[in-house]
Amino acid sequence: MKILSMLLLISFLSGFLFGQEKCFQVSKFLVEKNKMFYRSYSSSQEIIEARTLNTKVFKTEHNIVFRIFSHFVHYIDNNGRLQDISPGCCDFNWQVNESFSGYADGLFEETNICGTNTNYIYVNEPYYYRGFVEFNTDAVPDSAVIDSIILNLFCVQWLNPSEGHDIWSMENRPLSSTAMTIYNDAANGDCYIANYVGGAGWNSWNLGEQGVSRFDSLLPFDWFAVGISGFNSSSAADLLYQCGTGYIDVIESVGIKRNQKSLQTTRPVISISPAPFTTTTTIILSFPPKRAQSCAALFQIYDSAARLVKTFPSVEISNFKSVKIIWDGTDEHNMTVPRGRYFCRLKTNGWTITKQLIFIH
C-alpha cells in the first residue's frame, strides 16, 4: 500500500513539475469556461494560430473578432502551443496575480487590485470607489480598421436598482498611474455610457464611435482601458463587478478590411525622416493627391506610456499643401526627453493617425 501511495505521489509531482511548469495562475470563473471563452461564438470559428495569452480571434462570414480578456486565458504547453486554461491545468486562484482591474480609492490614495485587498471592482461615489479595467491589445494589428468595441463585465451584485453608473475613457494607462490619477481618470475624458442601470450577471456595452476612435489612437501603445463611476448608494458593496472576468470584443468588418486600400487614399499621411533620429527629425503631414480635401489638424507627441510630451500649434493640411514639422526631441518646456520610443498623433475632424518615433540620442 505504501509503495502504491508513493508511486501515485511521484506520478502527481511529475505531472505538476513538468506538465504544468509553463501554466500561468488564473482565476476561477463564475460561469462555465466555454460561456466566457466562446460566448456568441463557437470553438470552430476560432483562428487557433492567432491566439495570444489573453486573446482569442474568431472569424465569421462578415467579421474578424478579437476577444481580448483582462487576464490570461491560455497557457503554453510543453510543445510550445497556446492551450485553453482549464481546471485540470492550473491553479484557479488567479486573483493573487491579477493586476488589470480593480478600483481606486481617492480618499486614502490606495489602488485596490485583484488579490491585494479584494476580488471585486467596487463602484460607489460616496465611498470614493471608482472602478477600472485595462486590456493588453497587442494582438490587434496597428493597421486594423475597427468597426465597433463591445465591453463585457460580470456583475456579482447590483443591490440598488434605482442607481446607474457611467463608463469613461481612461486618459492615462492605469498600470503606470497613481491611485489618484486612476480615480480622476475614471470620471473624465470621453463618456462612452451615461447612467447605465443593469443587474447581476453579464452586462455588455457598445462603446460607440468614441470608443472606436480612442481604441484606434491607442493601438500603437498596446493598451485600452475604461473607468466606471457615478454609482451612488448607502452601502459600499451594493455594486460589485468581478475582477478578472472582463473582456472586450474588438470587431473588424471583413468588408471594411477589403476596402482598406481605398480608405487609405482619403486619410491623412504622416512621413518621418530620419527614423530613428539622434538630434532632429522632419515630419511631413499631407493628404494623398487622389481627392481634393483640406482640414485643420492637431499634432502631438506622446511617450510610450501615452503621456503627452508636446503639442504643436494647430495646422491646416490639404492634398495640395503639405505641412512640415521639425521635432528636436524636447518637451513642452524645451527639455530634452529621454531616449526611447515615442508616438506622434495627427488628429483631424475625421481621422486620428498615429506613428512611431525612435529617439536614440
Q: Are residues 92 and 213 in the same domain?
A: yes
In a domain, 2, yes or no: no
Domain that holds residue 225: 16-264
Average pLDDT over all residues of the chain: 78
Residue 119 and residue 132: Cα distance in Å, rounded?
13
Residue finishing a domain among 231, 264, 297: 264
In a domain, 11, yes or no: no
Position 93 confidence tier, pLDDT thresholds 50, 70, 90: very low
Q: What is the pLDDT of residue 144?
A: 85
> Do 168 and 227 form a contact (C-beta atoms < 8 A)?
yes
Query: CB-based contacts of 87: which residues, under 8 Å, 6+ apart?
Result: none
Residue finishing a domain among 213, 231, 264: 264
Q: Are residues 155 and 284 in the same domain?
A: no
Compare 157 and 113 and report the one with higher pLDDT.
Answer: 157
Compare 325 and 285 and report the one with higher pLDDT.
Answer: 325
Q: Are residues 275 and 352 in the same domain?
A: yes
Q: Are residues 165 and 84 in the same domain?
A: yes
3-state per-residue secondary structure call for the chain? CHHHHHHHHHHHHHHHHHHCCCCCCCECCCCCHHHHHCCCCCHHHECHHHCECCEEEEECCCEEEEEEECCCCEEECCCCCEEECCCCCCCCEHHHCCCCEEEEECCCCEEEEECCCECEEECEHHHCEEEEEEEECCCCCCCCCCCEEEEEEEEEEECCCCCCEEEEECCCCHHHCCHHHHHHHCCCCCEEEEEECCCCEEEEEECHHHHHHHHHHHHHHCEEEEEEECCCCCCCCCEEEECCCCEEEEEEEHHHHHCHHHHHCCCCEEEEECCCECCCEEEEEECCCCCCCEEEEEEEEEECCCCEEEEEEEEEEECCCCEEEEECCECCCCCECCCEEEEEEEECCCCEEEEEEEECC
Q: What is the pLDDT of residue 167?
A: 96
Q: Are residues 149 and 288 in the same domain?
A: no
In a domain, 278, yes or no: yes
In a domain, 4, yes or no: no
Q: Are residues 247 and 230 in the same domain?
A: yes
Looking at residue 276, which CATH number applies to its domain? 2.60.40.1930
Q: Which of 113-127, 243-257, 318-332 has the highest mean pLDDT?
A: 318-332
Q: Are residues 91 and 173 in the same domain?
A: yes
In a domain, 122, yes or no: yes
Position 323 confidence tier, pLDDT thresholds 50, 70, 90: confident
Residue 65 and residue 164: Cα distance in Å, rounded?
29
Compare 244 and 192 and report the one with higher pLDDT.
Answer: 192
Q: Are residues 206 and 122 in the same domain?
A: yes
Q: Which amino acid is at 51?
A: R
Q: What is the pLDDT of residue 20?
A: 38
Q: What is the pLDDT of residue 169?
A: 92
Residue finishing a domain among 264, 299, 330: 264
Q: Are residues 72 and 138 in the same domain?
A: yes
In a domain, 21, yes or no: yes
In a domain, 233, yes or no: yes
Q: Are residues 286 and 190 in the same domain?
A: no
Q: Are residues 286 and 252 in the same domain?
A: no
pLDDT 10s digits, 247-273:
999 999 876 544 444 444 456 778 888
Domain count within the chain: 2
Q: Are residues 95 and 219 in the same domain?
A: yes
pLDDT 10s digits, 14-31:
343 333 333 333 334 434
Place of cell 511529475: 14
> Do 120 and 52 form a contact (C-beta atoms < 8 A)?
no
In a domain, 5, yes or no: no
